[in-house]
Amino acid sequence: MDAFPMFIKLRDKRVVIAGGGETAAQKCRLMLKTSADIVVLAKTLEPELQALKDKGRISHDASPITEAHFANTAMVFLATGDEPQDQKLHVLAKRAGATVNVVDQPDLCDITTPSIVDRDPVVVAIGTEGAAPVLARRIRTEIEQMLDPSLGRFAALAGRMRDSVAARIPAGQARLRFWKDVFSGAEWRVFRSGSERKATDMLKTRIQGLDLEHKTVGHISLVGAGPGARDLLTLRAVERLQEADIIFYDRLVDPDVLELARRDAERVYVGKSVGAHSWPQDRINDVIINAAKRGQNVVRLKSGDPAVFGRATEEMEAARSVGIPVELVPGVTAASGAAASLGRALTERGETDRLVLATGMCKPGDPAPDWSEMAHPGTTMVFYMAVQQAQTIKDNLLSNGVPGTLPIEIVEQVSTPQERQILSTVETLPETVATQNVQNPAVLILRHSKMAYKTDKPVSLSVV
């Protein structure tokens, strides 16, 4: 690392910009984010700079530039747009002992300007030491998407409350824990939802009631991990993983998804695998609730979307019954992931205007649903957890007049490197599942178009 990143206080410090054109205006825009006293050296100013001068935002010096102009400055930007002129000014600025940035001449720069993500007072600076400025801008875009626009205002609010907290909690782990809870807890969630006044009152109430012996109640997030690929997680899901103290995850969650979590977050496997006993739902409810009672931020990580055949209702009701706050973070469900992989929409104008998501696995003791009632013309049906029910699905559909030649697309291990796409029909579904050794997780997609489906030709199998 040739350049060391750091933040410089510029309040009441002089920053000199040499140049009166667009290049100088770009540097001026950057410095206007600070509290520096900005002086522009140029004979004439382009309209934007002139307007800033007229508003008193900058000072203008049109006299011939000398070494004295660069004395006692925090930093100098040479941006005349004339390379030889900037080189001459560089000599003067260095004689005056200035720290200098020369636009587009990195060999003459003592300092370089990073790409900035501004959530004042939270500021993220990205630099590549001039090697790849385009990459720095790309990273900035990614971080802009990660950081909530209201983060800076919440940080400023917390800053105003620091003295009150310090008066009640001595420095150390207790105080760190308090602020950790604030920045990942209810106050922050309410603040970023737009209820800033309510969040402020909540924070003040929390501070007024501070008690070192008080046990802070945690929070439970039921988070959708998507169908497999980790880049299909939502930004909110990633945020919850990075805020979590403990993560309870299922068998179908890809290990790469867990890499997005905090390194020191505890990970607890609660899924079902071959040769092992599954965790009963009541036991899962108990462990996530007990973790929240200990003050931990809990993530219950489920494949797909927790609200789609994910038993989210049972876990939410269990948490709410004991007064623990719980939220549902949606994920990309397997049907959407499969449609994307197949390159074909789940609904098509004029052909399928109804989408049905159906499960192949019901509550123990309950009869299988009558899927044929849902398979009307104009319907796309997606069957979840239905591989073992292939024969039952075929019999149910055929016995109620659904054409046996209707195609069924099988997508196994959606969005993962192990994904397979297999084409079958209603009539041949059980044989296809058996001969192709289809395993869960997989979805079955049946498209019953409004247009008559008639063919005397058998539908061949294709494996991708």
- Active site amino acids: 250, 272
What residues contact residue 172 under an 8 Å CB cut-off, 6+ apart? none
205: enclosing H helix or E strand: helix 196-208
Residue from 235, 246, 231 nearest 301 by CA? 246
CA 9/CA 31 separation, integer angstroms: 12
CB 217 within 8 A of CB 291: no
CB 300 within 8 A of CB 288: yes
CA 168/CA 187 separation, integer angstroms: 19
**Residue matched to tokens 């929409």:** 345
88: enclosing H helix or E strand: helix 83-95
Binning the chain into helix, strand and coil, the percentages to the nearest 5 are: 35, 20, 45
Helix or strand or coil: residue 243?
helix
CA 301/CA 220 separation, integer angstroms: 10
Angle at CA of residue 368, ends 367 and 374, nearest 5°:
130
Strand partners, 357: 382
153: enclosing H helix or E strand: helix 151-160
What residues contact residue 68 under an 8 Å CB cut-off, 6+ apart? 96
**Number of other residues whose CB lies within 10 A of the CB of residue 201:** 13
Backbone torsion region of residue 130, taken as left when φ is above 0, otherwise alpha when ψ lies between -120 and 50, otherwise beta: left
What residues contact residue 178 under an 8 Å CB cut-off, 6+ apart? 165, 169, 210
C-alpha Rg value of the chain to the nearest Å: 31
Distances (CA, A) of 1 to 4, 127, 128, 135, 256: 7, 11, 10, 17, 30
Helix or strand or coil: residue 358?
strand
